[in-house]
Amino acid sequence: MSLNTGAVATPADYFKMPAEYQELVMHQLRQHVEGELIGASDYLEIFYPLAPDVFEKKVCCQRALEEIDHFMLGAAVLADIGFDATYMLGQTISDRKYYKTEGVTVVDTWLKRGMFSFIGEAVVLSILEEMAASSYVRIAEMTRQVIIDEHVHVAHGRRIVESCIREHGAVAVQPEFEIAWAMSLDLFGKSDSVRSDKYVEWGLRTYTNSDARRRFIERMAPQLEAMGLHIPEAGKLRKFL
Ligand SMILES: [Fe+2]
Ligand SMILES: [Fe+2]
C-alpha cells in the first residue's frame, strides 16, 4: 500500500486514516520533537561550556533558539492531532525515551562538537528531507524552515572539523571521525525495523532505514574523502546494523 503525497491534508483527514497510520504519525512526530529538545539541550548544556570564544558561545545560543523553534513547529502539528508535547519541556536528557543516542553525552571536546553537527545533524537533515515528502501534509510543511536551519547547523559543524584538520591534520582527526561516523549511522535505526517499512508503505518516509543509511554514506563519502578522512570498514564501532 502506498499513499501519494498530499493524500492527508488536514488534522480532520488524519483522524479519518486507519489506526496504524495515526500511530505511525504520532510516533514519528513525538520522536522528532523530542529530538529537537535534545538538540536545544546539547547546544546549551554541553556545547556552550566547550565553546572556545564569544562567537562560538553566541552560535550555541542561536542554535539552541532554533532547535526550540523546531520543537514549537512540531509540537503545533502534534497539538492539532490531540497530543500535548509540553511535558517534554520538563524532561532531562535521561528522561527522554523516543530519541535514544549516546552521541551527545560523549561530546567533551570542540572537535566532537563539530563532528556532532557535521555528521550527526546531517543524518537528521536527511531524515527531515524524507519527511518533507510526507503523505501527511502538515509534516511536510513543518519541515521547510527546519531544513533551512539544519543546513546551517551542518555547515558550521563542517567548518569546525575543517579547521581542526588544518590545525592537526586529517590523520589526527580520523579516530574521532570514526566514532562520530558509527554513532551517526546508528541514528538511522535498525535495518530490520518493521516500523521503518511501515513508514515507507504509508508515505511517511521515502526510504527504509537501511536504504536511507546507504544513501547517506554515498552522499557523504566523496566530501569526507576530499577532506582527507577515510570511511571506516562497514560495521566498525556500530551498535547495530
Ligand atoms: Fe532542529
Ligand atoms: Fe540542528
Q: 20 C-alpha vs ligand 1 centroid, how far in Å?
A: 26
Q: 156 C-alpha vs ligand 1 centroid, how far in Å?
A: 14
Cβ(122)–Cβ(154) under 8 Å? yes
Residue 162 lies in a domain: yes
Poorest-pLDDT segment among 111-115, 124-128, 185-189: 185-189
At residue 102, the pLDDT reads 62
Residue 231 lies in a domain: no
Residue 139 lies in a domain: yes
Cβ(191)–Cβ(123) under 8 Å? no
Would you say residue 4 has pLDDT above 70? no
Q: 215 C-alpha vs ligand 1 centroid, how far in Å?
A: 21
Q: 217 C-alpha vs ligand 2 centroid, how far in Å?
A: 20
Q: What's the rounded Cα separation, in Å, for the pair 126 and 234?
A: 20
Residue 5 lies in a domain: no
Print the domain residue range for 91. 11-226
Q: 36 C-alpha vs ligand 1 centroid, how far in Å?
A: 5
**Which ligand has the shortest distance to the CA of 60?**
2
At residue 99, the pLDDT reads 63
Q: What is the mean pLDDT of residues 130-137?
A: 96
What pLDDT digit, counting tens, does each position of 137-174 carry?
Answer: 999 999 999 999 999 999 999 999 999 999 999 999 99
Residue 30 lies in a domain: yes
* Count of domains forming the chain: 1
**13 CA to centre of own chain:** 27
- The identity of residue 76, as a single letter, is A
What pLDDT digit, counting tens, does each position of 40-66 carry?
Answer: 999 999 999 999 999 999 999 999 999
The total of other beta-carbon atoms located within 10 Å of residue 161's CB is: 26
**Which ligand has the shortest distance to the CA of 104?**
2
Cβ(136)–Cβ(8) under 8 Å? yes
Residue 105 lies in a domain: yes
The CATH number of the domain holding residue 25 is 1.20.1260.10
Q: 150 C-alpha vs ligand 2 centroid, how far in Å?
A: 5
Residue 208 lies in a domain: yes
**Which ligand has the shortest distance to the CA of 153?**
2
At residue 1, the pLDDT reads 43
Name 136's bridge partners: 8
Single pTM value for the model: 0.93
**Which ligand has the shortest distance to the CA of 35?**
1
